[in-house]
């Protein structure tokens, strides 16, 4: 008996990757193993609806060919169920896929689906909304918000937007309670990491693990703008956490109170979560198809 799966494609994720992904699905998906339906998203958050339909229809897995935002929509819907998430990376960053060792090559990513091996990982919650990879408040959330409104994507575009925003960005003060410990500080941003990276191998939290039952906080304290550029370089060297301007720690529950009602981001997509945001870990809540997983 074939395994029933649904494949969701985001038609606006990095077009080159998407076209290759569609071709590789058609040519290399093991149709002797899978009974599959391929559907395309038509609007923002459509993947959430399509995933819920797949759950209701008794699918064993939902495969998303898209970027981090699409992975978030599917993964957030699957968290807490027995239905597995599969990823064929087709975005500009592909943070969770890279952290889990899922191949960036579309053919190899489809072969990973064919192998149908699993790993169960943690997810995060921000005011009850799930994220798989990374959340944040502050400067990087402002850049994510601007990036989300662009027609073109990619790491270079993200960098250019950051340069445009950095000189006019006003730092705010955050009141933080993390696992019962209180502190208050002015900061460029606070990142809450379930995995090690934003995407494109930008390692914001090199020590973060997706299955340790903890989130990693990365606080960028006030620093000269030139140091921000140095730390951008450090991201890709895997030693950002060694900067004297960076504070990192692990936690299970955290409340952040913002001075301003600024946008936050979850897996690179902007969310208006208000001034008070409750973050917590949801341990071992999502089954993902990965290389070298368990059957």
Give the whole-number percent of the chain exceeding pLDDT 70: 98
Q: Which of 116, 142, 158 is the last residue of a domain?
A: 116
Q: Which of 61, 82, 116 is the last residue of a domain?
A: 116
Report residue 173's pLDDT band, with 50, 70 and 90 as the boundaries: very high
Beta bridge partners of 281: 124
Q: Residue 15's pLDDT is what?
A: 54
SS3 73: helix
Whether residues 178 and 232 fall in one domain: yes
User: Residue 17 belongs to a domain with what CATH number?
Assistant: 3.40.50.10330
Whether residues 263 and 169 fall in one domain: yes
- The whole-number average pLDDT for the span 139-164 is 83
Domain-located, residue 186: yes
The 10s digit of each residue's pLDDT in 79-124 is 999 999 999 999 888 999 999 999 999 999 999 999 999 999 999 9
Exposure of 78 in the CB half-sphere (CA atoms within 13 A): 33
Report residue 62's pLDDT band, with 50, 70 and 90 as the boundaries: very high
User: In the structure encoding, which two tokens stand for residue 86, read together?
Assistant: 């599969």
**Is the confidence at residue 199, as pLDDT, over 90?**
no
**Is the confidence at residue 66, as pLDDT, over 80?**
yes
Domain-located, residue 295: no
Q: How many domains does the chain have?
A: 2
User: Is the pLDDT higher at 91 or at 220?
Assistant: 220
Whether residues 168 and 111 fall in one domain: no
Domain-located, residue 293: no
Domain-located, residue 288: no
- The whole-number average pLDDT for the span 65-77 is 94
Whether residues 82 and 181 fall in one domain: no
Domain-located, residue 73: yes
The Cα angle at residue 108 between residues 107 and 109, in degrees rounded to 5: 90
Domain-located, residue 94: yes
User: Is the pLDDT higher at 280 or at 154?
Assistant: 280
- The whole-number average pLDDT for the span 263-292 is 96
Report residue 13's pLDDT band, with 50, 70 and 90 as the boundaries: low
Q: Residue 93's pLDDT is what?
A: 87
Whether residues 26 and 86 fall in one domain: yes
Whether residues 161 and 21 fall in one domain: no
Beta bridge partners of 176: 183, 256
Whether residues 42 and 72 fall in one domain: yes
Nearest one of 80, 72, 58 to 3, comparing CA atoms:
58
Average pLDDT, the chain: 93
Whether residues 155 and 103 fall in one domain: no
**Is the confidence at residue 223, as pLDDT, over 70?**
yes
For the chain, how big is the Rg over CA atoms in Å? 19
Q: Which of 116, 146, 176 is the last residue of a domain?
A: 116
- The whole-number average pLDDT for the span 40-56 is 95
Whether residues 110 and 172 fall in one domain: no
Whether residues 53 and 80 fall in one domain: yes
- Beta strand 181-187 with 189-193 is unpaired
Q: 277 is in which domain, residue-wise?
A: 129-281
Domain-located, residue 209: yes
Q: Residue 73's pLDDT is what?
A: 96
Classify residue 96 by burial, with Cβ atoms within 10 Å: 0-12, 13-18, 19+.
buried
Whether residues 145 and 267 fall in one domain: yes
Q: Residue 147's pLDDT is what?
A: 83
Domain-located, residue 292: no
Whether residues 134 and 266 fall in one domain: yes
């Amino acid at each position: 008996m074939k395994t029933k799966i649904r494949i969701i494609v985001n038609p606006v994720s990095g077009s080159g990757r998407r076209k290759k992904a569609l071709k590789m699905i058609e040519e290399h998906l093991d149709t002797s193993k899978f009974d599959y339906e391929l559907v395309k998203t038509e609007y923002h958050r459509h993947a959430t609806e399509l995933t819920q339909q797949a759950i209701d229809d008794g699918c064993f897995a939902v495969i998303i060919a898209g970027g981090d935002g699409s992975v978030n929509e599917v993964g957030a819907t699957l968290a807490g169920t027995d239905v597995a998430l599969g990823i064929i990376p087709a975005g500009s960053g592909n943070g969770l896929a890279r952290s889990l060792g899922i191949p960036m090559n579309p053919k190899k990513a489809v072969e990973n689906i064919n192998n149908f091996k699993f790993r169960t990982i943690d997810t995060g919650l921000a005011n009850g909304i799930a994220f798989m990879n990374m959340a944040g408040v502050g400067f990087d959330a402002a850049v994510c918000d601007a990036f989300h409104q662009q027609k073109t994507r990619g790491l270079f575009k993200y960098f250019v937007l950051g340069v445009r925003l950095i000189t006019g960005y006003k730092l705010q003060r955050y009141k933080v309670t993390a696992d019962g410990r209180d502190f208050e500080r002015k900061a460029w941003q606070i990142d809450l990491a379930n995995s090690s990276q934003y995407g494109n191998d930008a390692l914001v939290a090199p020590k973060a693990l997706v299955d340790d039952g903890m989130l990693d906080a990365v606080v960028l304290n006030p620093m000269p703008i030139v140091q921000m550029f140095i730390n951008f370089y450090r991201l890709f060297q895997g030693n950002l956490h060694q900067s004297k301007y960076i504070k990192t720690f692990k936690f299970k529950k955290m409340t952040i109170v913002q001075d301003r009602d600024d946008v936050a981001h979850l897996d690179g997509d902007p969310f208006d979560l208000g001034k008070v945001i409750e973050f917590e870990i949801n341990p071992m809540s999502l089954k993902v198809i990965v290389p070298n997983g368990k059957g």
